[in-house]
Structure 1
Amino acid sequence: MSLLSGPTFEPKHVLVDGDIVAYRAGFASEGKTSADAKDKVDEVMNFIASNTMSFPVPDRFHTFLTGTDNFRFEIAKSYPYKGNRSKSEKPEHLQHSRDYLVSKYKATISYGEEADDLIAKAATKYGPNTVVASVDKDMLQIPCWHYNFGRDEWSQVDEWGGSKFFYTQILTGDAADNIKGIKGVGPVKAGKLLKDCTTEEELWYACLEAYDGDYDRVVENARLLWLRRREEELWEPPTVRDGDTQ
């Protein structure tokens, strides 16, 4: 992953994390009106559009929202997925912001999975010159261009960089979603554990060794963290994909 000033070409597709936009608009309009929330949505969306496309085209500017249900709730056995969150964290005008993203920006709502999965599948379909607009670090497992509209920063992730980020998350977990990693292992220590790996299989075995051979736990974390690239995809270790289950 590298920090850059942005692509020198005109992106054909920009994929917007509508969940982040809706929450930001909702929190920014606390104590105000739903109209203020809509104004904030427009402000954020216009900022993203102006910084990712010279001439924003509606059918190349896609927005995604997380809907009902999520396959990850059934996968999580060790700890409840997102079990550390409470309803009180939701801003007053969140639903107004979401509805506005659907009505004005034609946002697509997921079912049975997250908006992140829809974004990852779309980025896979459109290719590495796609731009993902989000502030969510989880997106950095997707090989494409990334625009962090909260920091106004660009980065580019290739296939290997995306894989390294994903396996790093398997080791560290993700506190935001209540996915527990190895105690005492943060990004720096995870980087040391994976630094000599040159293939995905080596990344897999390094994680398995770090978890003292707890295959089920590593697979559980991986399936919770992996953003789908195909419909109904359920992540499998590279050894299983290659036909070697040992």
Structure 2
Amino acid sequence: MLDTKEFEKLAAQEQFEERDRFIIFDGHALLYRAYHAFPELTSPDGTLVNAVYGFSRIMLAVIRDFEPEYIAVAFDHKAKTKRAEKYEEYKANRPEMPDDLKPQVELVKKVVKALNIPTFIQEGEEADDLIGSIAKEMRKSGLSDNTLTTVVSGDKDLLQLVSEDVSVWIPGNKWVRDTEYFLPEVVKKMGVRPDQVVDLKALMGDASDNIPGVKGIGKVTAQKLLTEFGTLEKLYEAVDRIVETKEKNAVVKGAVLKKLVADREMAFVSQELARIDRDVKIDFDLNKCRVRDYDKQDVIDLFESLEFSSLIRMLPSDRFEESLQEALF
């Protein structure tokens, strides 16, 4: 965990360093975001393709704006996740994927493949865990010294990954601007440091993922507790001491103390559910994620078949075009 001095030092650093970018797209999170954000759009055969269009538009805009050296996409696997195996209620409140979104998943994968972008998908694992494990591999190998990993997602769960070598970029909409989250932005948004985001969710819960948390503990109380104690473990060490000694002037007391005692087990279950697993065994080679040449005409043909003519102008140059430009200029 970062101490206060380390955090202040990192927060004061120039955030836009001259480093290579490794962009990782959170496939399903962006697909759902596009499905709900973009108006109904159908291909010539009547298939709904608004999510494919929105996903492709976001991806191409990010590639254009960031000019990454490396790129990849992580997808959820349709099999039951390890979190659902441990806690049956995990995400059980979510409706099934809409019928008109299901075929768009394969179309998005077709677009990604046509652009020659590598994908990561693994049975039992969520995309978050694959992304977290990739980020850890980057740090372990020393590759993060020269490369900033930027996760593109609409899922704020990924803010726990933010560090001096990982940022999270969340696309905006007509009401909210695009935001790239570094350390200060996470603190401003969540009220805690990135390394405390998991414990924040462990205390307050997360309705979107059906993570229960501690009943009756809201965001403000959870933030105050973590500001005081730092971690869930240290908080419960204090709770145990207060209960044992019956300390009268304790920081934690009254209704809050009772709630913490009553839901201790669920707090730690929630912590486990909220924490991104960064130790998934993955076949990761950064060189395989290097931006590679692609057959632009194949992508143009695909976009024309879907009537995505406005996206053709956003396509990056392929090797043929670059060679032609070099010859002319």
Q: C-alpha offsets along residues 159-216 of structure 1, whole Å, 9 cap, x if unaligned?
A: x922211111100111001111223322211111111225674256468866217553
2:61 maps to amino acid: F
Q: Does 1:182 align with 2:214?
A: yes
Flag as ranges the 4+ runs of structure 1 deviating above 4 A: 198-201, 206-210
Aligned partner of 2:183 among 153, 157, 163: 157
In the TM superposition, residue 92 of structure 1 has moved relative to its aligned partner by 4.5
Question: Out of 52, 58, 69, which is 1:44 matched to?
Answer: 58
5+ residue gaps, structure 2, are 1-6, 113-117, 185-191, 241-256, 282-329
- Equivalent pairs, count: 223
Match of 1:145 in 2: 167
- After superposition, give the CA deviation of every residue in 1:82-107 in whole Å (9 maximum; x if it has no partner): 121222xx344423332133233243
Paired residue type of 2:109: V
1:237 equivalent in structure 2: none
Q: Does 1:173 align with 2:182?
A: no
Q: Secondary structure at the match of 2:217?
A: coil
With over 3 angstroms needed to count, the CA separation of the structure-2 counterparts of 1:206 and 1:215, relative to structure 1, is same
Contact 2:30 2:154 in 1 (8 A): no
Structure whose residues are more often helix by fraction: 2
Shift in Å, 1:142? 0.8
Q: How high is the TM-score relative to the length of structure 1?
A: 0.76
Of the candidates 111, 127, 135, which is equivalent to residue 123 of structure 1? 135
TM-score (norm: length of structure 2): 0.59
Larger Rg: 2
Structure 2: distance between partners of 1:194 and 1:35: 45
Residue 187 (structure 2) aligns with:
none
Which amino acid in 1 is paired with 2:30? V
For 1:75, the aligned partner's letter is: K
Change (3 A) 1:200 1:81: closer
Aligned letter for 2:267? V
Q: Tell me whether 185-194 or 101-110 shows the greater mean CA deviation.
A: 101-110
Which of the numbers 91, 110, 131 marks the counterpart of 1:82? Answer: 91
Q: In structure 2, the residue corresponding to 1:111 is in which secondary structure?
A: coil
The answer to whether 1:71 aligns with 2:82 is yes
Q: Secondary structure at the match of 2:25?
A: strand
Distance 1:206 1:114 in 2: 34
Q: Deviations over 1:63-85 (max 9, x none)?
A: 111112201112116xx111212
1:97 matched to 2:126? The reply is no
Q: 1:114 pairs with 108, 126, 129, which one?
A: 126
Q: 1:32 aligned to 2:42?
A: yes
- The whole-number CA distance in structure 2 between the counterparts of 1:21 and 1:103 is 15
Contact 2:215 2:263 in 1 (8 A): no
Return the alpha-carbon distance in structure 2 between the equivalents of residues 16 and 207 of structure 1: 40
Contact 2:212 2:266 in 1 (8 A): no
What is the distance in 1 between the residues matched to 2:98 and 2:74? 19
**Aligned with 2:228: secondary structure?**
coil
- Specify the alignment match of 1:230 in structure 2: 279
Q: 1:111 to 1:205 in 2, by over 3 A?
A: farther
Q: Cα RMSD between the aligned structures?
A: 3.1
SS in structure 2 opposite 1:61?
strand
- Contact 1:26–1:97 (8 Å) recurs in 2: no
CA distance in 1, matches of 2:274, 2:178: 25
Using the alignment, how far apart are the partners of 1:119 and 1:207 within structure 2?
A: 34
Percent identical pairs in the alignment equals 27
Q: Is the 8 A contact 1:6 1:155 kept in 2?
A: no
In the alignment, the residues of structure 2 paired with residue 12 and residue 226 of structure 1 have an alpha-carbon distance, to the nearest angstrom, of 25
